[in-house]
Chain A
């Protein structure tokens, strides 16, 4: 495992170009060409490393920030789709990212990649579960890892606010957090009401947003 991880860590970030002269190519909205093997390897790596959950945080970091396979807004659109549609959020997002990059083979590569590692590791852990429980401090260690993993997850939300949320969008954001996060109203009806409202607001304010909303 280690050679792979380091290979990824050392990979030059060739796509992370955002000087003004490059906006023409980026604005064309076309993701870079990525091999199926690279998609599989990235998702496999994330699947194996995602102790304590927080997979969406890993995905955002690798797909948007480090590799620039997708733009920020593109990723968030996929994320909303992935959460609102039935299915495991991360495999849904994997299908979205994979298919954006390479169509249905890309989607397959992403899903198989993200699940194959945990599939084997989970069953392996189930086999030695009784022994793990006996180690003093092991449950506490895992709780600490899990708490930090939620932090990884939330950091995506904080970064997204800084980059994408302006003006009226804060009202929608706060409404979602209060209703779904704090009051625990079921997510689907809330999204079914607020998402169309938010899109309508975006539509009617589209002229004002032009020119200044270049998040890249």
Chain B
């Protein structure tokens, strides 16, 4: 019991500070998370960490669900809940107050300039994000083709995204069968 409490505290002490540093999402603190859980605390083996990472990518939801999975592996359902909240709450409070300040200027000429000025920045970050994810995924030509076609279809045709996602999966498996390549 006491031991469990200690582990839950250790999860809080690990993830709450990282929450403040997770600019750009949990991906930016993946390196310290890996180091702390595998090398320092030795909660997970290298293989277990990679497996949890793969699951967090395959499952729906943000990539930060890796944190939930680490909590679960280390201390069950309570561990999952505590780790998730530790990662979520600190940065959320900061963002909430930033959004309040942001909205206070709504309707002023300054706010309009902010929106017009940030539109190309936000759009540029979306495109950069897509490039970064495709690069990190190490996708071959099959993956790149699915990516390109999906982008075009979702931009210029009104098809439900789930249909496009499922088609991507089917094409990927078909390519494996037909060309015996990934």
Contacts and interface: CB of A to CB of B under 8 A. Distances in A.
A141 B121 CA distance: 33
Give the secondary structure class of B's interface.
helix
A201 B157 CA distance: 34
Interface residues of B, number: 99
A95 interface: yes
Interface residues of A, number: 103
A151 B149 contact: yes
Contact of B23 (A9, A104, A187): A187
Given A157-B126, A181-B128, A191-B125, A48 B60 contact: yes
Interface string B7-19: 0000000000001
Interface string B116-134: 1111111111111111111
Nearest to A124: B59
Interface of A: 9, 29, 47-58, 61, 73-74, 76-92, 95-96, 99-100, 104, 107, 111, 114-115, 117-119, 121-123, 125-126, 129, 137, 140-161, 164-165, 169-170, 172-177, 180-182, 184, 187-188, 191, 194-195, 198-203, 206, 209, 213
30 contacts: A51-B58, A54-B165, A56-B126, A73-B115, A76-B118, A76-B122, A77-B122, A80-B121, A82-B95, A85-B95, A88-B91, A99-B99, A99-B100, A100-B99, A114-B62, A117-B60, A117-B61, A121-B60, A125-B55, A140-B173, A145-B172, A151-B151, A151-B153, A151-B168, A152-B151, A154-B126, A177-B124, A181-B130, A200-B117, A206-B113
